[in-house]
Amino acid sequence: MAQKSSEYWEKRIAASTWKTYNSLEEKNRELLEFYVDASEQIKKELYLIAEKYSKEGVLSLSEMHKKNRLTALNKKFENIIEDLGHKTEKSTKKNMQDGFKAVYKNTAVSMGDENFSMPNKKLMEKLLNEPWRGDSFSGRLWKNQKKLAVGLNDLLLTGLQQGKTATEIAVSLHNFMGQGFNECHRLVRTETMHYLNGATKQRYKDAGVEYAQIWAAEDERTCEQCSKYHERIYPIDKCPNVPFHPNCRCTIIPVTDEKLIIGHDKKNDIEKAIEKKGDSDIINPSIAKAGTGVAVIRSLGKIKENIITKEFGQIQTDEIIVTEEREEHIKERHPEDFELFEKYGGKTVSDPDYIIRDGKHEGTVFMVMKLPNTNLNVVVRVALESDRSGLKNSVMTFYRIRERNLKKLIEKSTALLGKDAVLYKKE
């Protein structure tokens, strides 16, 4: 393949992806119509009841409890939202798949492959339904719909309890639907960008491209998150998920310039050499990655700084982060624990029951939270003053640990350290 610069690919591939994205955004007007319709239906159902049973515009709760009227109305709201969800899902998925085809085609042609074949339907579906950063498009969409239905019924009940007029309740329901639309719209935009990027990535793989580069839209190069990734080069399979945040339009372009690839490999070798200095194969790559921004990171909480500095001396930051790569690791190695991590990971690091120093690995602590039948253990590598600068305290792994094994862990670390390994115990 011809050696072309990143700017060349930006003009031919990224710009076209953005164009497709914008044309899909036009189609999202339909989404707004769905929400307006549903909002009207909800108002209508409420007014139908109010016409019959309200006194001076107010529906009393006792009147609504008669003959299960409230339950019936709740059910109607739920059905309207479910129907809205189906319509939204169907329409947006179709638009996204049209976008996928357009982007895939443009990418192939831009790279000189006129005789490409489109990925089959099954693969396109698979990419559309694949979870990324914890959930799939449909998963997120239905979570939103559920939230919407529950929220509407909560508002209805509160309105009735507070003796609001039917009109006042209708206004609050309408406003809530507006919020619901905004959330849904944001979700669709983010998922669309992700899917279109998936189309380019798939084309690179199909064309045998080995390296890809993250390319931010020009107005995003000042964004703190995206600017860190702009121009970064990755082997195609290690390329992080883009977009990085809602409304982000970061894309992926192919790397065909040998000089760029050689530069990337050299930098990688240096990073690997730094990683090898450590004493653990699991721990050091991750902390290095968190610091160099190779992985997408998410903030988990603040470390109990006084306890940590008392043991380790100054640290670089009190922030604890977890990288996408580590989350994948937790999901893979401890699948049944991942949900617990999502639920309690933040609480465990911010407010642990124990902080124990790891006797085996440098700068590493176990943060333990007690649950009725088990304990949760978040293993955190602390970013010490003596580490390369710019690093953050990073979650290495997470798993459940039984009381007996926790005791053993403490004993072992205490023996290795030659002093009590428990740095903190909640009273």
Residues that bind Zn ion (CB under 5 A): 220, 226, 248, 250
CB of 215 to Zn ion, least distance (A): 9
Q: How far is the CB of 234 from Zn ion (least distance, A)?
A: 15
Q: 17 vs 88, which CB is nearer to Zn ion?
A: 17
- Is the bond preceding residue 246 a cis peptide, omega within 30 degrees? no
How is residue 7 written in tokens?
A: 């700017």
Toward Zn ion, which CB reaches closer, 187 or 248? 248
The C-alpha atoms of residue 71 and residue 150 are separated, in whole angstroms, by: 13
* Residue 330, both tokens: 């937790």
CA distance 385 to 365: 16
d(CA 164, CA 170): 10
**CB of 132 vs Zn ion, minimal distance in Å:** 15
How far apart CA 368 and CA 354 sit, in angstroms, is 5
Phi-psi region of 163 (alpha: psi -120 to 50; beta: other; left: phi over 0): left
What Å distances lie between residue 401 and 343, 346, 354, 378, CA to CA?
16, 17, 13, 10
Shortest Cβ distance from residue 244 to Zn ion (Å)?
5
CB closer to Zn ion out of 20 and 375 = 20
Identity of the residue, 160 or 216, whose beta carbon is nearer to Zn ion in the bound complex? 216
Compute the least distance from the CB of residue 220 to Zn ion, in Å. 4
Phi/psi of residue 136, each to 5°?
Answer: -100, 170
CB nearer to Zn ion: give 58 or 242: 242
Q: Which is nearer to Zn ion, 145 or 192 (CB)?
A: 192
Closest approach, Cβ 343 to Zn ion, in A, equals: 28
* Cα 292 off chain centre by: 20
* Count of CB atoms situated within 10 Å of the CB of 266: 10
